[in-house]
Amino acid sequence: MADRDLAKGIASGEVQEGHIVAGVLDGQDVVLVRHKGRVCALSGQCTHLKAPLADGIVADGTLRCPWHHARFDIETGEAVGAPAFAPLERFEVVENDGQLRITGSAEPGPAPEAADTAGLGRIVIIGAGAAGHACAEMLARHGAGEAVTVINEEGDAPYDRTFCSKQYLAGKADRKEAALPALDGVAVRSGIAASRINREAKIIVLKDGDVIPYDRLVLATGAAAVAPDFYGSDRKDVFGLRILADADRLIAAAGQAKRALVVGSSYIGLEVAASLIARGLAVAVISDDALPLEKTAGPEVGAMIRNLHEFKGVTFHLNRRIARWDGHVAMLDDGSEVMGDMVVAGIGVRPRVNLAEAAGLDLADKADGGGVKVDAQLRTSDPAIHAIGDIANAPDPRLGHPIRVEHWVVAQRMGQWLARYFMGQASGDYREVPFFWSGHYDLSLRYVGHVASSEDRTIDGDVPAKDFAVSFAEDGREQAILTAGRDELALQKELEWEKDGGSQAGDKMPLG
């Protein structure tokens, strides 16, 4: 039971190797895990968004969060896998006479191993989003911050971009709560963009003419929102949503509006719709898709998602496009009209590859996902330049071909892996399994893996009841899973596919 008082103690036999036991200490959630024979006691809430770690799993010396798959070192509490960065609090455990008891807080875990900075050279990271920030933070965490310069085109300090369509936009979190950890010791050039890369001289030229030399260059330029294309799309009451400043403008406009039109029924569009509903607006979604999320999740999940949003008050105009917008009425391509006060476009993004292209780096064909081609160590066609995050078209060992993935945690883990690779703490190939989550009111979806199409799918569970797992296959092999109400299964699949590592190329596995 999670309400067991661990100050009073429990039987030692209750804490078995590799299992999580939950309890409380002075009202605080605590989890116990026996690791290598020793019982470790850690805070029971993830430091990312307070998920209950008792519902997670233990894997390879880490405690893994059930909601967003953050990873913590069991012995030290260090957050070793994004999206969490802050460590878990540790507690002192006394074990004798067949009893376990927590006596109070323990000293913080040992500092991460200091990197040997002698061979790092000058590392320049262009971009301070998920990938760029995570790479710089991991280097700084290991004492290599002075080797790093980050070029942050945005004026805002690094922040969690997922807040833009979720917590911050919905009014459930303050702007400051979106902040990511500060980059201690790192030189950050904020509010200025890189103009060009001189590969021969190994320098970056900034827009203001300043020059920054590098030994290793990391491109983490991310993606830009696709702009809508209809008559009136250039009006000031038409909004995109990609950066925190976009969310600021959208929130200000929502405060003066009663009705919002959202263009697009993918994950971002629907998250925006849910957030604006939370702010009390009437919301209509206009999409040229037949069902929301059908292309990635299949029609069964698409129908459930549409019904959920309709129950919350969203109206849908599917298989439709906006032809004209005048600030009050959107005329659709079939001649029908929808009233509104503002339009929000959530129709996807494009990788920002201009710098890479101008520098002559190899790009992937659009048919193959676009972006910058990288190898299994995330190197571009210039071995001194790496690319990570939304722009990286990287080999996937399980699929057997390169993919480009536009997910927050994927970008962060690319950045963290590359930092460890630079420091000699990671070897071999980048093999992280893609993961993302999406929130819709009280429904949370977890997606592990990657497929290009949802056509080959198998459903286990009850989709309308929001308790299901959808398995997706590519070339007859299971390669991805979408879950609701089955967080442990999503974690277990991620772990299975990590260990698979491409050696079996995604052999069929039961849903469980």
Is residue 271 predicted with pLDDT exceeding 50? yes
Helix 267-278 with 299-311: angle, nearest 10 deg: 10
Nearest CA to 405 out of 263, 240, 223 is that of 223
Cα Rg of the chain, angstroms: 24
CATH code, domain with 482: 3.30.390.30
pLDDT confidence tier of residue 501, bands split at 50, 70 and 90: low
C-alpha 423/C-alpha 169 separation (Å) is: 38
Tokens 């050039």 label which residue? 189
Sign of the alpha-carbon dihedral angle for 389, 394, 396, 397: negative
pLDDT at 511: 37
CB 436 within 8 A of CB 412: no
511 is a domain residue: no
Tokens 């790092």 label which residue? 120
Same domain? For 340 and 373 the reply is no
78 is a domain residue: yes
359 is a domain residue: yes
Nearest CA to 416 out of 398, 432, 399 is that of 432
Whole-prediction pTM value?
Answer: 0.95
Is residue 503 predicted with pLDDT exceeding 70? no
CATH code, domain with 276: 3.50.50.60
Quick one: average pLDDT of 463-484?
Answer: 97
CB 54 within 8 A of CB 61: no
485 CB burial (10 A radius; 0-12, 13-18, 19+): middle
pLDDT at 512: 35
pLDDT confidence tier of residue 509, bands split at 50, 70 and 90: very low
Is residue 508 predicted with pLDDT exceeding 80? no
Same domain? For 14 and 75 the reply is yes
128 is a domain residue: yes
Sign of the alpha-carbon dihedral angle for 236, 240, 246, 249: positive
CATH code, domain with 99: 2.102.10.10
Same domain? For 100 and 190 the reply is no
Same domain? For 418 and 452 the reply is no
435 is a domain residue: no
434 is a domain residue: no
Is residue 146 predicted with pLDDT exceeding 60? yes
Nearest CA to 345 out of 275, 449, 273 is that of 273
311: domain range?
Answer: 238-347
Can you list the alpha helix ranges (DSSP code H) found in 180-326?
244-254, 267-278, 294-297, 299-311
pLDDT at 2: 57
Q: pLDDT tens digits for 176-230?
A: 999 999 999 999 999 999 999 999 999 999 999 999 999 999 999 999 999 999 9
Same domain? For 364 and 332 the reply is no
From residue 315, alpha-carbon distances to 51, 99, 110, 202, 213 in Å are 32, 58, 53, 53, 53
Same domain? For 488 and 447 the reply is yes
Same domain? For 130 and 167 the reply is yes
Phi, psi of 384 (to 5 degrees): -85, -5
Cis peptide before 52 (omega within 30 of 0): no
The two tokens of residue 353 are: 């590859």
pLDDT confidence tier of residue 500, bands split at 50, 70 and 90: confident
* Cβ atoms within 10 Å of 141's Cβ, excluding its own: 24
Quick one: average pLDDT of 443-460?
Answer: 97
CB 318 within 8 A of CB 287: yes
Last residue of a domain, one of 105, 140, 161: 105
Same domain? For 355 and 208 the reply is yes
C-alpha 136/C-alpha 133 separation (Å) is: 5
Provide DSSP, 480-510.
EEEEES-HHHHHHHHHHHHHHTTSSSS----
Q: What's CA 83's distance to the chain center, in Å?
A: 7
Name the average pLDDT for the chain. Answer: 95
Last residue of a domain, one of 78, 105, 132: 105
Edge-to-edge, what's the strand order for the sheet holding 385-387? 187-190, 148-152, 123-126, 216-219, 385-387
The two tokens of residue 133 are: 């920030």
From residue 488, alpha-carbon distances to 81, 341, 437 in Å are 17, 42, 14
510 is a domain residue: no
Same domain? For 56 and 154 the reply is no
SS (H, E, C) 7-49: CCCEEHHHCCECCEEEEEECCEEEEEEEECCEEEEEECECCCC
* Total domains present in the chain: 4
CB 327 within 8 A of CB 235: yes
Sign of the alpha-carbon dihedral angle for 500, 501, 504, 506: positive
